[in-house]
């Protein structure tokens, strides 16, 4: 099951919490969908997550975390200090399955490292009045790398066994994605307390970072579990070659040795599109559509879409729907409000919500 699904009671709560002051329609393969603006007034909304009380947490890249309820935005204090430069800042937010008991949430962000910055994961407890984070602690930070402002990733997903997956970009330093001594360009797996699971693939590889689960990634800004609990990522290529990958333990996804894209100069990347020992994408886009948030759908509101993959486009302003074996893009959900889709999530009632960076708003798609 998807990590954000909750009982029907929460679905009903969501319908009463948010005030829908504006709505229009969007055409799809399932007929006309209702498109409702649920919250607005954000700078760069990067991620959002549903809470059991029917509220919503939203991150802004400049470092602010908001609690949304009754149509009102309430800032939350106590978030970690972030480096809000380039693509860095406050990034993902994740609400674990035991939140109702623990009140713990997880945040990924760009953390200062000397003169540079690296992707980090922190946990904190949300106060009962939803105004502040307490007991904030650093669980993981990438080994120091590039000083640039590019390619931080970054999503955090709770696996079925309770471990945490975090996606990391290669920070614009292409060779680092093939270097197991660095975390850049990888998906890492850690326990909830920040320790390393003994079952990780490189714990016994001398010199390797033990948190690494897979490597050879460029900049995975989308990550989700499918209905069987398998991990998937959507990641940026260069000029062409944006990819959807099913992530397997210890696997090498090829960047920058193989790619279906080219450098922005037009020059060839690496050694071609395939090499033994390196994984092939399940799907790639050419031209690039700049994939960000990713969700794999339960089928609750639209049974016909069960198990299908939804990925937001930052470049062409639509939500891509992918289906089939082999995987392919079968539909583009698009309207005047789908500008620079930064995150896509399924709500407890099966509606599809997305964050539009262009509109500075959160929207809901429903029947």
Q: Known catalytic residues?
A: 151
Q: What residues contact residue 69 under an 8 Å CB cut-off, 6+ apart? A: 17, 53, 54, 55, 56, 130
Q: Count of CB atoms within 10 A of residue 181's CB?
A: 12
331 φ, ψ (degrees, to nearest 5) = -160, 150
Backbone conformation region of residue 357, classed left if phi is above 0, alpha if psi is from -120 to 50, else beta: alpha
**What are the start-end ranges of the H helices in the chain?**
8-17, 99-102
Token readout for 361 is 């708003």
The maximal CA–CA distance of the chain, rounded, in angstroms, is 58
Kindly list the strands in the beta sheet with 328-333, ordered across the sheet, starting from the edge strand earlier in the chain.
291-296, 309-313, 319-323, 328-333
* 141 bridge partner residues: 120
The SS3 of residue 109 is strand
Q: How far apart are CA 195 and CA 216, in angstroms?
A: 23
DSSP structural state of residue 281? P
The DSSP bridge partners found for residue 313 are 291
Q: Is 275 exposed, middle or buried, given 0-12, 13-18 or 19+ CB atoms closer than 10 A?
A: middle
DSSP-derived secondary structure letter, 17: H
Give the DSSP letter of residue 252: B
Peptide bond into 256 cis (omega under 30): yes
Residue 326 burial class via C-beta count within 10 angstroms: exposed 0-12, middle 13-18, buried 19 and up: exposed
């Amino acid at each position: 099951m998807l990590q954000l699904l909750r009982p029907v009671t929460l679905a009903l709560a969501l319908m009463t919490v948010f005030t829908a002051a504006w709505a229009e329609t969007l055409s799809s393969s399932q007929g006309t969908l209702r498109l409702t603006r649920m919250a607005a007034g954000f700078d760069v909304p990067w991620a959002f997550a549903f809470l059991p009380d029917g509220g919503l947490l939203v991150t802004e890249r400049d470092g602010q975390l908001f609690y949304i309820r009754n149509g009102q935005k309430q800032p939350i204090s106590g978030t970690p200090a972030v480096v809000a430069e380039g693509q860095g800042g406050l990034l993902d937010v994740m609400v674990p399955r035991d939140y109702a008991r623990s009140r713990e949430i997880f945040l990924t962000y760009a953390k200062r490292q000397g003169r540079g910055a690296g992707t980090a994961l922190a946990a904190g407890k949300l106060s009962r009045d939803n105004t502040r984070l307490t007991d904030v602690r650093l669980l993981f930070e990438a080994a120091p790398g590039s000083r640039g402002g590019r390619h931080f990733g970054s999503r955090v997903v709770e696996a079925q066994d309770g471990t945490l997956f975090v996606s990391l970009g290669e920070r614009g330093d292409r060779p680092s994605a093939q270097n197991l001594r660095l975390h850049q360009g990888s998906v890492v797996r850690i326990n909830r307390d920040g320790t390393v699971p003994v079952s990780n693939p490189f714990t016994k590889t001398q010199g390797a970072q033990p948190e690494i689960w897979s490597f050879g990634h460029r900049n995975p800004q989308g990550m989700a579990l499918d209905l069987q609990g398998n991990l998937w990522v959507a990641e940026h290529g260069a000029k062409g070659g944006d990819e959807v990958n099913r992530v397997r333990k210890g696997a090498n996804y090829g960047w920058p040795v193989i790619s279906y894209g080219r450098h922005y100069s037009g020059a060839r990347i690496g050694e071609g599109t395939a090499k033994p020992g390196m994984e092939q994408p399940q799907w790639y886009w050419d031209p690039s559509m700049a994939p960000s948030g990713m969700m794999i759908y339960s089928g609750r509101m639209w049974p016909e879409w069960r198990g299908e993959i939804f990925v937001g486009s930052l470049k062409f302003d639509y939500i891509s729907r992918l289906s089939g074996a082999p995987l392919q893009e079968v539909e583009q959900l698009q309207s005047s409000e789908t500008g620079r889709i930064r995150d896509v999530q399924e709500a407890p009632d099966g509606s599809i919500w997305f964050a539009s960076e262009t509109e500075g708003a959160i929207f809901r798609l429903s029947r």
